[in-house]
Amino acid sequence: MAKASIAKGMRDFTSFEVLRREYIISVIRNVFESFGYGPLETPSMENLETLTGKYGDEGDKLIFRVLKSGDFLKSVPENLERNASTWSSLISDKALRYDLTVPFARFLANNRNDIKLPFKRFQIQPVWRADRPQKGRFREFYQCDADVVGSNSLWQEVELMQMYARVFDALLLPVKIRISSRRILADMAEFCGVGDRFMAFCIILDKVDKVGVEEVVRQWVELGVPTEKAQQLIDIIALRGEPAVEALKALGATGNGLEEVSWVIEKFSKFNSDSVLEFDPSLARGLDYYTGCIFEVEALNSSFGSLGGGGRYADLTGIFGLKDVPGVGISFGLDRIFLALEEADLFPDSIQDAPDVLGVQLSEDSAETVFRVVSQLRENCVIAEFYPDAVKLKKQLDYAHQRGIRYVVIIGENELANNTLQLKDMKEGEQFEIDMEDFMENPINYLDLN
Amino acid sequence: MAKASIAKGMRDFTSFEVLRREYIISVIRNVFESFGYGPLETPSMENLETLTGKYGDEGDKLIFRVLKSGDFLKSVPENLERNASTWSSLISDKALRYDLTVPFARFLANNRNDIKLPFKRFQIQPVWRADRPQKGRFREFYQCDADVVGSNSLWQEVELMQMYARVFDALLLPVKIRISSRRILADMAEFCGVGDRFMAFCIILDKVDKVGVEEVVRQWVELGVPTEKAQQLIDIIALRGEPAVEALKALGATGNGLEEVSWVIEKFSKFNSDSVLEFDPSLARGLDYYTGCIFEVEALNSSFGSLGGGGRYADLTGIFGLKDVPGVGISFGLDRIFLALEEADLFPDSIQDAPDVLGVQLSEDSAETVFRVVSQLRENCVIAEFYPDAVKLKKQLDYAHQRGIRYVVIIGENELANNTLQLKDMKEGEQFEIDMEDFMENPINYLDLN
């Protein structure tokens, strides 16, 4: 007998969970579509060389590689030294999608002649990472991305921030959108005299929420930043909005990052007075392909961390030979949003995974009539289930109760003779005898549905 | 520069294709849900031992195995003989889902204490097979399954056949549902004196559409069937419906397969007079876990082969230690249905992957006003896109044309002064000046939307 356990870091989703996840996805998707973004789906597996080298050394280790089919060992020379990395590139030529961005870039490069720019696409698909599973971290999870490529216009940033606002409005989840720019971070690194170690400077700052300001200062100093400047900067990084802009200007920030961020905030605020978009100089974001504005969304009144993020990149497809395609994109974290909605009890009551009506069987004789009623209910948009076996009524009612089915249709000999049925309301504990034909034709006169 | 090619046997789906695939899925899903089936999602990866040994030797070879992370070679003893099969079980412990049935069985076994029987679930997810790619055969494709477990009632067969009928009615695709039973096939094998080689007998018959009747007879005889009996049976297999039932009875079929199939057809016909459900003794179906009724759907007036199939199984979860759970299920073949709808031009015109309106930019000055109009249109359920750059009007109109966007909103200096806008209908070639506020509040008075 085989062991029947789920693989490590993987999840089954029951109907309760699937319907709630789909609710979130449908809200996100409706916003994407209303802004003119179209769906794209790329395959789960890519050629290994499409993925490797795109996510840094740490990322490469987390890519799930798929073994070649057939006699994969014949690709390995006899007496080859045993080295996992050398071997894996010989015995594996495909890998599972690690994110949605690199496959999107590959798609763009493949279809460069058919695509009209600006090209707006969204993509909602699972990705896989061989991370050590822990609370809230899984080896398979969904990413929900929207990107537009082919335009340098900052209106795109405004539009994407508006999309964030619309989604979280629709979910009734109060959020704050934080914005900064890689150009501002470059100014900071320049000020500190470590402009040539820009990525290292950002990666240290990116961890400020986890490790605290003192540790950031310590690591910056280790990187070569004079202590005084590190201290000066870390004080500014605690500021938000206009004071942060002013402080950075006073420091001598010369790039146009501050201007760009201010412009986006100004335009956004004109159209979205209810939503918070705030300049946050502590925002760094780890992905190294961002070059312009960067964003992150977090729930107010909650400690779930980031619910999504994104940014602008000057060149995404250059690695695949398609030059000069700038873009900007946002991403939503489905699992975190799920937890935030669950905690705040914000899933709508209308999400239900139980049918409205159960037709039960009292005898083989009446079964056909009950089946007919149930079939007709479905034609009239009622979700109806037929209990397949003529077992004891109590067992069938227990099933309805456990499934959370509110109404039960019962047809016995009397009802069969009178052309009626008994409608039992499991919630109110009431039962009515009603005309069978009228019920089938006008079920909503009798049923209180969600 | 990395090679940017899609992996062999894999597909990208553009918005045109995604929306059409989703149309099919939504029709199938609505029917599943209206019958009280709930969604289940299982992970893409299962432990290797959950999958191996479930699909026969040929199936095992087609399972995509995932390489262990880290130093996978340390699981391999030094000087181990080079044998792909031995090695792969050491260096790989996970594999990609090969179908939806085995993971469903694993889920049932894992959750045996929480599940109320009868349990109805549907599952619409991709599966992966390391088949040699060829026309119409891919290495990643969707399966759409509905199964009910925990009841022996033939009403479930009636219900599932009704679900087939409802789906293809809704898709406007005329189909024939073929039904038979493994018990009838067992009778045939018995009649031929090869009852102990039942599966081999079925597998030969299953290929009749591909290889023809003469080859089936030849292979049966090779299996040990007397030539005369093989000939007698192959003549019956050409019959359909009642004549086939009568002929098999005359042959001395003793099991209750014929009775069961006739009962299902009789009940089904009472509720679905427009649909064709026909006994077809040539139906065999390759999967070896079926034990009762088996079904297959094919398009009338078309040569796409099977659009779906299914059957009853006495024991699906026994392999995972959960005994006595009978079930019955159906499956839809998304790719074949797609091709059939495409050939018959049956995708609804309402499926559109272009926005309704494009707001263009004549100058930086008017951009903000156009952006406001476009934002307001979305609030009123119009899919609207904002062209991000103030490039030449012709370029923006070309973009609208190529994207298939019907309406363009243009605001110049005059319109800005008059608080109006120009609405250009790209389809009719007309252009109107209209009041800006009225247009934003009541766009459907001006737009002819799908």
Helix (H, G, I), strand (E, B) or coil at B342: helix
Check A6 against B319: CB less than 8 A apart.
Answer: no
Q: Are A127 and A97 in contact (CB under 8 A)?
A: yes
Question: Is residue B1 predicted with pLDDT exceeding 80?
Answer: no
Check B49 against A368: CB less than 8 A apart.
Answer: no
Higher local confidence (pLDDT), B289 or B167? B167
In chain A, where the domains are located? 15-343, 357-445
Between CA B323 and CA B331, with CA B327 as vertex, the angle to 5 degrees is 135
Confidence (pLDDT) at B450: 67
Q: Which residues contact B128 (CB under 8 A, 6 or more apart)?
A: A44, A45, B44, B64, B96, B97, B98, B139, B140
pLDDT digits (tens, 9 = 90+) for A326-364: 999 999 999 999 999 999 999 999 898 899 999 999 988
Higher local confidence (pLDDT), A274 or A446? A446
Token output for B29: 């899903």
Q: Are B181 and B292 in contact (CB under 8 A)?
A: yes
Give the CB-side neighbour count of residue B285, counting CA atoms within 13 A: 30
Q: Where would I find the beta strands (DSSP E) of B129-208?
A: 140-149, 175-181
Of A1, A153, A271, the CB nearest to B321: A1
Going by the DSSP 8-state scheme, the letter that residue A63 receives in this structure is: P
How many Å apart are CA A75 and CA A90, to the nearest integer?
6
Check B12 against A355: CB less than 8 A apart.
Answer: no
Of A5, A82, A126, the CB nearest to B44: A126
Closest-CA distance, B62 to chain A, in angstroms, reads: 8
Show residues of chain B in contact with A92, CB under 8 Å: 67
Token output for A20: 């709630």
Show residues of chain B in contact with A158, CB under 8 Å: 371
pLDDT band for position B3 (50/70/90)? low
pLDDT digits (tens, 9 = 90+) for A288-302: 789 999 999 999 977
Closest-CA distance, A95 to chain B, in angstroms, reads: 8
Helix (H, G, I), strand (E, B) or coil at A251: helix
Phi and psi at residue B399, to the nearest 5°: -60, -45
Check A19 against B5: CB less than 8 A apart.
Answer: no
pLDDT digits (tens, 9 = 90+) for A52-65: 988 888 899 999 99
B357-445 to CATH, choices 3.40.50.300, 3.20.20.70, 3.40.50.800, 3.30.1600.10: 3.40.50.800
Check A385 against B1: CB less than 8 A apart.
Answer: no
Closest-CA distance, A106 to chain B, in angstroms, reads: 6
Check B69 against A130: CB less than 8 A apart.
Answer: yes
Average pLDDT, chain A: 93
Q: Are B166 and B31 in contact (CB under 8 A)?
A: yes
Phi and psi at residue B114, to the nearest 5°: -100, -10
Check A34 against B92: CB less than 8 A apart.
Answer: no
Closest-CA distance, B222 to chain A, in angstroms, reads: 31
Check A7 against B118: CB less than 8 A apart.
Answer: no
Alpha helices in A125-256 (DSSP H): 155-170, 182-191, 198-206, 208-211, 213-223, 227-237, 241-251
Q: Are A101 and A18 in contact (CB under 8 A)?
A: no
Token output for A97: 């999608």
Check A110 against B5: CB less than 8 A apart.
Answer: yes
A 10 A CB-CB count for A139 gives 24
Check B84 against A65: CB less than 8 A apart.
Answer: no
Identical topology for domains A15-343 and A357-445: no
Show residues of chain B in contact with A50, CB under 8 Å: 2-5, 7
Closest-CA distance, B5 to chain A, in angstroms, reads: 7
Distances (CA, A) of A199 to A104, A237, A283: 24, 17, 13
Kindly give the pairing relationship between strand A119-128 and strand A38-39.
Answer: parallel
Going by the DSSP 8-state scheme, the letter that residue A111 receives in this structure is: T
Interface confidence (ipTM) of the complex: 0.94
Going by the DSSP 8-state scheme, the letter that residue B232 receives in this structure is: H
Between chain A and chain B, the number of residue pairs with CB atoms below 8 A apart is: 280
How many Å apart are CA A243 and CA B233, to the nearest integer?
89
Which residue, among B147, B159, B57, has the nearest Cα to B102 in the 3D structure?
B147
Under CATH, domain A15-343 is a member of which superfamily? Answer: Bira Bifunctional Protein; Domain 2 (3.30.930.10)
Show residues of chain A in contact with B111, CB under 8 Å: 12
Which residue, among B173, B192, B327, B197, has the nearest Cα to B251 in the 3D structure?
B192
